[in-house]
Amino acid sequence: MQGNKIKILHLSRSFSNISGAALIANNTYRLFNNDEFESEVFSQASDNDDEFRYREYFVKSNYTGTSLDKFLYFYNWTGKKNIEPVLDDFKPDIIHIHDMSTTYMSWFVLKPCLKRNIPTVMTLHDCSFICPCVTFTHGNGKKCKKILCKGYNKVYCMLYRCFSNNIFLSSAMSLLSFIPQLAGFDKAISMYITPSEALKKLIAEKHNHITADKIVTINNYLVNDEIKNTQPNYNNNGYFLYIGRLDITVKGLDTLLQAMKDLPGDINLRIIGKEEHKGQEEILKQYAKENHLDNVKFCGFKNRKEIKEEYQNCIASILPSTAFESFGLTTIEAAINGKPSIASNIGGIPEIVEHNKTGLLFEPRNTEQLKECILTYWNNPDLVKEHGENAYKKAIEKYTEERYYKETANMYRMVLAKKKNYGKA
């Protein structure tokens, strides 16, 4: 510890709010700059790095697209080299990893951190340590009932082409999941953070080296400014809302469109977001076109201000995930605007969305149940208002910046205390 402040170096592939993980990473970095803590970041280079102190060392893409290059990125010499001057200058007391799922922010950037004996904590935003593709399904759509990749051996992901039914992409995901365990990084992490009890239980039960005593559950949160500047709106403009990636495999948008196909044409749906994997958006739009879904509008990417307006005017948000969701950030974003959520009963979602109280739950891929939930809200505006009020109350009481700060700060102090005790031994 340098001086009176605890120094935290945050590692993530992005701090630009392009995903839920990036949003939490960015908010955490900003939250832990005060009288007790000092934070800096190390990341993949982007166009939004001007504010960061060590931006000149950020990892730039040298990706050429060749087959050799696609495999070489698993050992990123640039990232490992570039983080060293950051460590030497900033001298962090703790490394906080938020997201390493990228071709440029290789796990091997941790080697200089561990060599310096800097304690490391990691927020697990998904279950990729257990399932490389986080879907628990094979490429043919069948459920992986035995969770074959829960141990060291991740070859099943490749054999069953679990990622987009593509052997090369599945092989890449297998390697990305296998490398942290092969190099011993998973065992070297001092403490893991999960945003839900469901993810904590899954990791503790299925991972070979991460036990429950090394995991603490700290829910994601809403920043104070967002709460202060948002008034719940219990009226609406007559549409349902999906916000997230345009992804069929994980986010269940195909199920949502199938449900819309059999619903009355005056029930409108707005879809906000962009594709992560090429071709997904076109598949969804083509399905909507072939089935004459004129009541479904693809609105593309929107900024935070525009998204807030979308929440304000919707009936309810819909989260039709088919894969394990560690939290479901959009459900509390909807709640702060006074809106309930219709969501899949999977992962950590039921911890946030209480059925028939703050929203409605349906079983993943169950189109009939999803249709019933949509019709329930469409035909019962008083129920929408009641659930919206309950959701808002829960959000401002439970998912607060103060609670997140207190629990995370306590975790940092606990990790440092353990290091001191080990040093005395």
Q: What digits encode the pLDDT tens for the residues 97-129? A: 988 765 456 778 888 999 999 999 999 988 888
What are 183's two structure tokens?
């190099």
pLDDT for 423: 46
What are 189's two structure tokens?
């992490």
Nearest-CA neighbor of 235 among 312, 318, 341, 307?
312
pLDDT for 424: 45
Examine the domain organization and report whether 268 and 325 are in the same domain. yes
Cα–Cα distance between 58 and 56 in angstroms, integer? 6
pLDDT for 148: 87
Examine the domain organization and report whether 306 and 358 are in the same domain. yes
Residue 1 pLDDT grade (very low, low, confident, very high; cuts 50, 70, 90): low
Examine the domain organization and report whether 229 and 367 are in the same domain. yes
Examine the domain organization and report whether 187 and 237 are in the same domain. no
What are 167's two structure tokens?
């052997």
Examine the domain organization and report whether 384 and 243 are in the same domain. yes
| CB neighbours of residue 136 within 10 Å | 20
Is 262 inside any structural domain? yes
Question: Which of the residue ranges 10-14, 151-155, 201-205, 393-397 would you say has the lowest mean pLDDT?
Answer: 151-155
What are 101's two structure tokens?
């799922």
Q: 277, 244 in Cβ contact below 8 A?
A: no
- pLDDT reading at 3 higher than 80: no
Looking at the chain, the whole-number percentage of residues with pLDDT higher than 90 is: 57
Three-state DSSP class for residue 121? strand
Is 143 inside any structural domain? no
pLDDT for 321: 93
Q: Which residues pair with 217 in a beta bridge?
A: 194
Question: 174: part of which helix (H) or strand (E)?
Answer: helix 167-182
Is 158 inside any structural domain? no
Examine the domain organization and report whether 90 and 16 are in the same domain. yes
pLDDT for 264: 95
Q: 288, 1 in Cβ contact below 8 A?
A: no
Dump pLDDT digits (tens) for 259-317. Answer: 999 999 999 999 999 887 778 899 999 999 999 999 999 999 998 899 999 999 999 99
Distance of CA 112 to the CA centre of its chain: 26
pLDDT for 198: 95
- pLDDT reading at 19 higher than 70: no
State which amino acid sits at residue 401. Answer: E
pTM of the entire predicted model: 0.88
Nearest-CA neighbor of 43 among 65, 64, 63, 21?
21
- pLDDT reading at 69 higher than 70: no
Is 153 inside any structural domain? no
Q: 327, 195 in Cβ contact below 8 A?
A: yes
- pLDDT reading at 27 higher than 60: yes
Is 157 inside any structural domain? no
Examine the domain organization and report whether 198 and 283 are in the same domain. no
Q: Which residues contact 146 (CB under 8 A, 6 or more apart)?
A: none
Examine the domain organization and report whether 388 and 408 are in the same domain. no
**What is the rounded average pLDDT of the residues 40-52?**
85
Residue 333 pLDDT grade (very low, low, confident, very high; cuts 50, 70, 90): very high
CA distances for 371 relative to 9, 334, 342, 374, angstroms: 46, 20, 10, 5
Is 418 inside any structural domain? yes
Q: 59, 104 in Cβ contact below 8 A?
A: yes
Examine the domain organization and report whether 245 and 212 are in the same domain. no
- pLDDT reading at 67 higher than 50: no
**What is the rounded average pLDDT of the residues 313-328?**
94
Dump pLDDT digits (tens) for 227-241. Answer: 889 999 999 999 999
Examine the domain organization and report whether 248 and 216 are in the same domain. no
- Full domain range(s) for residue 380: 224-398
Domain total of the chain: 2
Looking at the chain, the whole-number percentage of residues with pLDDT higher than 70 is: 92
Is 166 inside any structural domain? no
Between 186 and 379, the more confident residue is: 379
Report the residue count for the chain.
425
CA distances for 120 relative to 188, 264, 341, 372, angstroms: 8, 52, 35, 46
Examine the domain organization and report whether 26 and 76 are in the same domain. yes
* DSSP structure class, residue 420: H
Examine the domain organization and report whether 229 and 218 are in the same domain. no
For 195-204, give one letter per residue: b (16+ CB within 10 A) or e: bbebbbebbb
Q: Which residues pair with 298 in a beta bridge?
A: 271
Nearest-CA neighbor of 401 among 232, 225, 231?
225
| CATH of residue 259 | 3.40.50.2000
Cα–Cα distance between 319 and 364 in angstroms, integer? 10
Is 167 inside any structural domain? no
- pLDDT reading at 407 higher than 70: yes
Rounded CA Rg of the chain: 22
Cα–Cα distance between 378 and 202 in angstroms, integer? 35
pLDDT for 232: 97
